[in-house]
Structure 1
Amino acid sequence: MMFSDEEVERYARHLVLRELGGPGQQRLKAARVALVGAGGIGAPAALYLAAAGVGALRLIDDDDVALSNLQRQILFDTADIGRPKVEVAAARLAALNPNVAVEPRPVRLDADTVGDLLADVDLVLDGSDSFETRALVGDACIARGLPLVAAALGRWDGQVVLLRGEPCWRCYVPEPPPDAETCARMGVVGALAGVIGSAAALLALRVLAEVGEAPAGEMMLFDGLGWRARTSRIAADPHCPACGGGGLSPG
């Protein structure tokens, strides 16, 4: 896969990286990524994936831009209020890097749509804010053998993990918690979304470019209030219905 002169200049800082170089950049150019959610996590992640030269990005989100989004969702501005998030995001990403094919999908991901929405991609990055959606995405990735970068935000804390086979999302969260916190109810500091979204993009780029050892199942936990980070390994559940022999098939 050849690069134009413009691409050589655009990706110059990647091309001289010993660990990435031309072969890694070629892998990025050939890659297709589905981003579930174009909000706090998905916005910075999409910007960095597009800037890095990932060949195709599918943006999945059925929400419109709201004023309350602008405190943390950096793809949008005040003039975008009321417009579909994925349409605004697609235009911004195309302006950032016209070499990237951006596919806006203003569709709610559910049991009926997940199969189509995650078809024909090489990696899924999930920044959704629903435990039900995360479980559906995790199950679909297991069934299709897709690497999944899953990221989430709390009030001052966030987490990012690569899931590839076992352990899977259901090993970590077997059932959605009945009293799950939401950003709307509990709040979230805006800049945290940038930290976690950027970390998710970095992890996805490492997987796609085949750089270093991909730390599957090792969750990075960041505490913005205490200003510290740590890692914790998710334990595989031998009885997990998704990855422990329960026999899920592609939807």
Structure 2
Amino acid sequence: MSGLKTISGSCHALAEALLSSGPEEACAIGYAHHDRSSGTWVLIEVEPVAASAYADRSVIAASLRSELLIEVANRARRDRLSPIFIHTHPFAQGSPVFSSIDDAGERDILAYLARRAPDACALAMVIGPDGIAARVLGEGRAIDVWDVGAALTCLSGSDGARFEDRHDRQLRAFGPDGQQALNRLKYLVVGAGGTGAATLQQLAYLGARDVTIIDHDLVELTNLNRLVGATIHDIGRPKAEVARDWFLAISPGANVEAVVGDIVDARVARRISDHDLIFLCTDSHASRAVVGQAAYQYLVPAIDMGVSISVKDGVVTHLTGRVQMLAPSLPCLSCTGALDGEQIRREMLTPEQRAADPYVIGGHAPQPAVISLNSTMASLAVTMMLGAVTPIPAGARFQYYDGIAGKVRPTVANVRANCIVCSKAGALAQGGRWALPVRPEGDAHG
């Protein structure tokens, strides 16, 4: 699903500033990074225009001076950004609608930009007291506007979806708005193993309609104790394809794509920005580094989960798990100390590089794993997602699970000032202007 992604609160703050400036229409200019392959825009900055920039202004129309348009076009061309032309309809009732005056004004601006900034894909936005609407400038094609943070909210209204009877019981829990939110999101599940398979099962039953599954592994006999949906007949098949097949068996009308690949490879990581929400279900520090940064860079929230079973002298000493949401205003994996830099380096190596590295000794030893712990963490993660996108009041965004004590403990972590991943001094909302910490194309392995 394409759309404009904004840091939580930025559109609300802008609407309040513009609508409180007086009865006349008010304007603002924003700049976004546009990803043509995914049809998404990441809002980088936005400011109301100065009073001196208006050529004309009334309660039904506003026009801007040509000097400002020149400045906008030059900035868009120089920084490879797409401008967003924003104005208010102060007296609109309900969701605002673009007027015929807006149509004519957009045609003139589009013609000017075509000459001065031909690579830009500009947007128009109208703000009313009760909502926001946006479209591609001069095309009339509506796009969604997303508020991205601890909650993920579509600001641009309903798509008039109809619901299946099979979802009646959950509609009674979080209503049609909640079900519509679940239906319209485009999900990315990274890792189709223990926690990933359990997460996908729940998404299928909840009514997710658009899901991409990424995993580079094949099903092995030792996976069958915890790989939901897999049977002995699936041994040797890609986990992503097995997961796709049984997802469609649960929800035949869904659009499910299986990608056999590693998210740390550049060609696969490029798929991240095409999605609205990620479930990170791997035990790899490298994959967490890539997805963890992309969550802030492209404003695609991710829910990371991990499990651990410790055994000493044949006795289970620890049975634990962690679920953490990664999104603007929330601490990243770097802030919480969840990443090991040396482990990331090792995991980024190709098999040939790993064999030649004198600091890499032996292979990765299989860790204990049981389906109950995987399913517990998947359920916590999916419930966390429901709290972020539906009216269910599940507010915790970082949780620890202690299976021996039988406790789920919400925790609070601090955002590190000037963090290179999650702050405005780092990757936050940079879109394609920043590079992800991926394995280069030439180093990818199959």
Deviations along 1:144-194, one digit per CA (max 9) or x if unpaired, are 1121111001012111121212311211136416579x9944413331001
How far apart, CA to CA, are the structure 2 residues paired with 1:114 and 1:142? 18
Alignment of 1:34-45 (within 5 A): 34-45=188-199
**Which residue of structure 2 lines up, in the alignment, with residue 176 of structure 1?**
340
Does the 8 A contact of 2:179 with 2:390 survive in 1?
A: yes
The 3 A distance-change label for structure 1 pair 53 and 108 is same
**Which residue of structure 1 lines up, in the alignment, with residue 414 of structure 2?**
235
Q: Match for 2:322 among 147, 159, 162? A: 159
How far apart, CA to CA, are the structure 2 residues paired with 1:202 and 1:99? 23
Which gives a bigger RCO, structure 1 or 2 (Cα 8 Å, sep 6+)? 1
The alignment partner of 1:14 has SS state of helix
Residue ranges of structure 2 left out of the alignment (5+ in a row): 1-159, 310-318, 345-362, 436-446
The 3 A distance-change label for structure 1 pair 33 and 134 is same
**Which residue of structure 2 lines up, in the alignment, with residue 74 of structure 1?**
228
Give the Å deviation of 1:103: 1.0
Moved over 6 A (4+): none
The alignment partner of 1:151 has SS state of strand
**Which residue of structure 1 lines up, in the alignment, with residue 162 of structure 2?**
3
How far apart, CA to CA, are the structure 1 residues paired with 2:210 and 2:296? 22
Does the 8 A contact of 1:49 with 1:205 survive in 2?
A: no
Q: Match for 2:405 among 201, 226, 245? A: 226
Q: TM-score, normalised by structure 1?
A: 0.88
Does the 8 A contact of 2:285 with 2:343 survive in 1?
A: no
Alignment of 1:26-41 (within 5 A): 26-41=180-195
**Which residue of structure 1 lines up, in the alignment, with residue 172 of structure 2?**
16
- Is the aligned partner of 1:200 residue 2:381? yes
What is the identity percentage for the equivalent residue pairs of Structure 1 and Structure 2?
29
Q: What amino acid maps onto 1:3 in structure 2?
A: R
Q: What amino acid maps onto 2:167 in structure 1?
A: Y
How far apart, CA to CA, are the structure 2 residues paired with 1:114 and 1:201? 24
Q: What amino acid maps onto 1:124 in structure 2?
A: I
Q: What amino acid maps onto 1:240 in structure 2?
A: C
How far apart, CA to CA, are the structure 1 residues paired with 2:421 and 2:223? 33
The alignment covers a number of residue pairs equal to: 243
The 3 A distance-change label for structure 1 pair 247 and 49 is same
In terms of fraction of residues, the more strand-rich structure is 2
Q: What amino acid maps onto 2:172 in structure 1?
A: V
How far apart, CA to CA, are the structure 2 residues paired with 1:45 and 1:78? 21
Does the 8 A contact of 2:302 with 2:326 survive in 1?
A: yes
How far apart, CA to CA, are the structure 2 residues paired with 1:104 and 1:195? 24
How far apart, CA to CA, are the structure 1 residues paired with 2:268 and 2:237? 23
**Which residue of structure 2 lines up, in the alignment, with residue 94 of structure 1?**
248
The 3 A distance-change label for structure 1 pair 184 and 21 is farther
Please give the root-mean-square deviation of Cα atoms over the aligned residues, in Å: 2.2
How far apart, CA to CA, are the structure 1 residues paired with 2:218 and 2:391? 35
